[in-house]
Structure 1
């Protein structure tokens, strides 16, 4: 018995040592890449300190399998690795890149390292790793952007390619899992619609008011989870929950959020939200959204944006959010502030633009005044970037005393289908007096008329929601450009009326030159900066968009490996994936 116990101890000790030596191999995340069949699964883990990422690709085939990173979701210019097991059990594995025709060419530098390659009667599994940034121009850098991940496979080892065996999924690979903690005591509460009939119109913003849980002492919300009705999940663009002042005129009816009834435009401070592609959001273990104090809302406004472009009839919805809250308090009270471009037609994007930049400015020096009491300097812990179909990239740039000091959030490969809340690895300081610029890059190469800011999916938005502590009363800090100045630059009839300037944009002869002039004038024009609190009190002031200096790129790693063709390396031990990420 003692010998068995000692053996188990030594086994556990050796396992711990091995785990410490190969911590980079802990595959914390997983996705099904062929959503309808579940035959292609990817697991991965990241060592952020060493800047190394490890992948495990598992495909139900006994032929070759491939993994790729694409600039745009297509095979052309993709960075690809291909591997497989021959009938004689020997293996092959190589780092490649796709040019004009299949098959992809082998790279001169082999920057992917094979860790194991195995096959049974039905499935091939390949484990490999690489540096986040190699020095090979044929490789795609793995960055804090949304990556287009490609998987592909064949039915034998001949490298024959069939389009039906190729899949693409947008994935944020450099995910951060914060230190979270599930309290021993917690409660759940649903904030949702009740069998709402979705109108047969392209865009509906449905709003109603929901009471928050009644508690006798302060609690913290530590997790919220989207509650998506399976009947209408594919029609839901976003869900937002706004805190209402305790003198708000509420109703249990459901109405159009931004229609003629002003009742449904009340309440402006987002306390949590979800957008297409997102999932449950866990707050770090020392941070919670407060509930039950005199500063917290008795009611919230639930807003759900439905897109019914297929004109489906008779679809009912009971979607919303499930919140998890606890009396076991955390150290910090969290809140959200919305930054970006004022959502109105003063925000515009010309047709035929390849990379048109729009800018929204926040000047925080009015925060004390609008908040109603002094605002403490803030710590940013997470972010959610939000835009629509033309968006290609969003940056949140941080300035202090007129000097650019960092980037609070960024996704240069934004995908409308993957709008998720993302954690920072470390908290980021945001002080009162700082300036924040949200820069959105859009492509309208497939449009022949001006795209204006607005609520529809076919309109545009340029927004960033920053999760921060300590919470305050500020709901929004955004801006709009001096549009009459822009239309003057574009040679249109002079006007001082904003809506006339909006109409004038439709008469511009758009070409590369006028697009360039419009972007330059929009950035140079005076911005009207609006700071607003949850009660709707606001302050405006003028401001100018500062220049942006791109940060120095991270150093690349030019390590290369011998092209694999022979026996498989010893099988590498890896952790099991987190089921919550397997989707």
Structure 2
């Protein structure tokens, strides 16, 4: 079936008009894949199982699948339909753009497949890992969900009619943490938003400095909700809410303007500590019940900076933006205060990626040791709760590696299928302890096969970054650290003579870049000296460091335990066996 396109984890197809309320009858995690085409899912972490529910406005077949690339080939799919009162459902995989092939091992378990006059609903379950070579593992990485449906049912399980609707979207399936918005007593909220007309420039950073609300007592922020007006959603790339120094006054308050204009740069660049962050694809961030972001004490911020990165490649004029954050807070204090820090590779042109290479890695170094260690003071460990990983268009993978005493002991955050259009704060399954003095290495991988010139580190969307924003408890004075390489170290690594950055840039532009030469430079830059910049509320430190040896990642052997054991193909199942799980009356009430 050429052109079947993408299909991911059981999804519905709504083609007959009408709409659906996303908060009625769906599982906790929800996505609208297309008009009247919904996917929702629920996790059983202990049993390593995920249940999917697909709802679509169609009476034909529906299909959904997961893939690492967004394409049909090697995608892992579920396809089902009802015909003459019988349910047909198969675990399939993609071979090119042909009709998906039925797997020899059926590792998806059908729970329900029903339809009424307008809609089809398909509910099924699968293990996180099936050990079937025709299936894909569900991991913490970003996955591409492919989906399709048609108005007609197949006449043969191997002859599926061409779809009427198809598409692909990115999502993280293994989402940990709360999904239901908490409603503590004595709660309130306030908005931090901009009032700014998006410039007719491809990339622009807007900054505004404002003042937090005055509170008579300490509060905890328990939820951070992004505010993106409909008119702005195609222009806002990411937002960061920073804390400004205690030396700021009401005279420091500014209207929104360019962050990097010379007359304002010093004012904006001093607001370094991060309070909240959001990027395209992100959702509302809900903190765990034991911790909250503090506000209202002498140690807490009074002034903030809201930075918004806009993309306007078509130079659309007259877009007035009121984006920002809604911060929900309560006077019912939690046990711990939450803090945030950033790490990675300093943004600048000494961070570069060669052109036309399939893989190139860069590294950022972070030492969490206190700047001025007091031997009489006990430094509490940091318990990491989650992260937001950030590169731009050519980034494909990001990892934050955890080192102690020179050896890697774990991976704090990673995304092996990074998607620029889905950047969100991701909660860890369990908090991870970071001792003061542990080292964090941020490793970013890029693919520039479609670029003919060097990609430089910088602020623009077509430039590159390698950053991770981490949040933790209990809050301390540590606010971040990153590393960079200077002109001399880069020139020495390349074994060239350059005393001005312009000379080095010219050499790099004229370099004979191949996969082999790029791999050689990658190793030399990794092994060269890095300059580490550590930031605390009370000061900063600059030291010279080297990236530690990074061991190869071990692949965990697969076990069939927990899978459904390669059950027989589920086709011709009497509708009565599954219809009890779905209430047709519910359709009539909400559709």
Q: Report the 3-state secondary structure (helix = DSSP H, G, I; strand = E; otherwise coil) of the residue aligned with 1:537.
A: strand
Question: Per-residue CA shift, 1:110-142, capped at 9, x if unaligned?
Answer: 111112211222222111111111111111111
Indicate conservation of the 8 Å contact 1:530/1:541, yes or no. Answer: no
Alignment partner, residue 33 of structure 1 = 33
Alignment partner, residue 189 of structure 2 = 188
Q: Report the 3-state secondary structure (helix = DSSP H, G, I; strand = E; otherwise coil) of the residue aligned with 1:547.
A: coil
5 Å-filtered alignment, 1:257-276, equals 257-261=259-263, 262-276=266-280
Q: Report the 3-state secondary structure (helix = DSSP H, G, I; strand = E; otherwise coil) of the residue aligned with 1:570.
A: helix
Alignment partner, residue 455 of structure 1 = 459
Alignment partner, residue 70 of structure 1 = 67
Indicate conservation of the 8 Å contact 2:371/2:540, yes or no. Answer: no
In the alignment, is residue 404 of structure 1 matched against residue 408 of structure 2? Answer: yes
Question: Per-residue CA shift, 1:60-94, capped at 9, x if unaligned?
Answer: 111111111112111111112211111x2122111
In the alignment, is residue 129 of structure 1 matched against residue 148 of structure 2? Answer: no
Indicate conservation of the 8 Å contact 2:368/2:478, yes or no. Answer: no
Shift of 1:428: 0.3
> In structure 2, how many angstroms separate the alpha carbons of the residues matched to 1:26 and 1:233?
25
Alignment partner, residue 3 of structure 2 = none
Q: Report the 3-state secondary structure (helix = DSSP H, G, I; strand = E; otherwise coil) of the residue aligned with 1:271.
A: strand
> In structure 2, how many angstroms separate the alpha carbons of the residues matched to 1:103 and 1:410?
33
Shift of 1:259: 2.6
Indicate conservation of the 8 Å contact 1:487/1:504, yes or no. Answer: no
Alignment partner, residue 514 of structure 2 = 511
Shift of 1:238: 0.9
Shift of 1:468: 0.2
Alignment partner, residue 546 of structure 1 = 549
Alignment partner, residue 430 of structure 2 = 426
Q: 1:495 aligns with which of 470, 493, 498?
A: 498
5 Å-filtered alignment, 1:91-490, equals 91-158=87-154, 159-162=159-162, 165-178=165-178, 181-194=182-195, 196-248=196-248, 250-261=252-263, 262-369=266-373, 375-481=379-485, 484-490=488-494
Indicate conservation of the 8 Å contact 1:220/1:325, yes or no. Answer: yes
> In structure 2, how many angstroms separate the alpha carbons of the residues matched to 1:539 and 1:330?
35
Structure 1 residue ranges without an equivalent (≥5): 1-24, 576-583
Indicate conservation of the 8 Å contact 2:61/2:149, yes or no. Answer: yes
RMSD, aligned CA: 2.3
Indicate conservation of the 8 Å contact 1:64/1:83, yes or no. Answer: yes
Indicate conservation of the 8 Å contact 1:193/1:319, yes or no. Answer: yes
* TM-score (normalizing by structure 1): 0.89
Question: Per-residue CA shift, 1:1-44, capped at 9, x if unaligned?
Answer: xxxxxxxxxxxxxxxxxxxxxxxx9932121111xx22x21121
1:546–1:259 CA distance, 2 compared to 1 (3 A):
farther
Shift of 1:486: 4.2
In the alignment, is residue 564 of structure 1 matched against residue 573 of structure 2? Answer: no
> In structure 2, how many angstroms separate the alpha carbons of the residues matched to 1:572 and 1:525?
65
> In structure 2, how many angstroms separate the alpha carbons of the residues matched to 1:288 and 1:48?
24
Question: How many residue pairs are counted as aligned between the two chains?
Answer: 544
Indicate conservation of the 8 Å contact 2:114/2:582, yes or no. Answer: no
5 Å-filtered alignment, 1:532-543, equals 532-534=535-537, 537-543=540-546
* TM-score (normalizing by structure 2): 0.87
1:373–1:139 CA distance, 2 compared to 1 (3 A):
same
Indicate conservation of the 8 Å contact 1:482/1:522, yes or no. Answer: no
Indicate conservation of the 8 Å contact 1:221/1:324, yes or no. Answer: yes
> In structure 1, how many angstroms separate the alpha carbons of the residues matched to 2:318 and 2:510?
40
Alignment partner, residue 579 of structure 1 = none
Question: Per-residue CA shift, 1:319-375, capped at 9, x if unaligned?
Answer: 1111112211111010111011111111111111212111111112244559x9864
Shift of 1:487: 4.2
Q: Report the 3-state secondary structure (helix = DSSP H, G, I; strand = E; otherwise coil) of the residue aligned with 2:267.
A: helix
1:367–1:498 CA distance, 2 compared to 1 (3 A):
farther
Indicate conservation of the 8 Å contact 1:482/1:525, yes or no. Answer: no
> In structure 2, how many angstroms separate the alpha carbons of the residues matched to 1:144 and 1:513?
31
Indicate conservation of the 8 Å contact 2:72/2:97, yes or no. Answer: no
Q: Report the 3-state secondary structure (helix = DSSP H, G, I; strand = E; otherwise coil) of the residue aligned with 2:525.
A: helix
> In structure 1, how many angstroms separate the alpha carbons of the residues matched to 2:64 and 2:39?
9
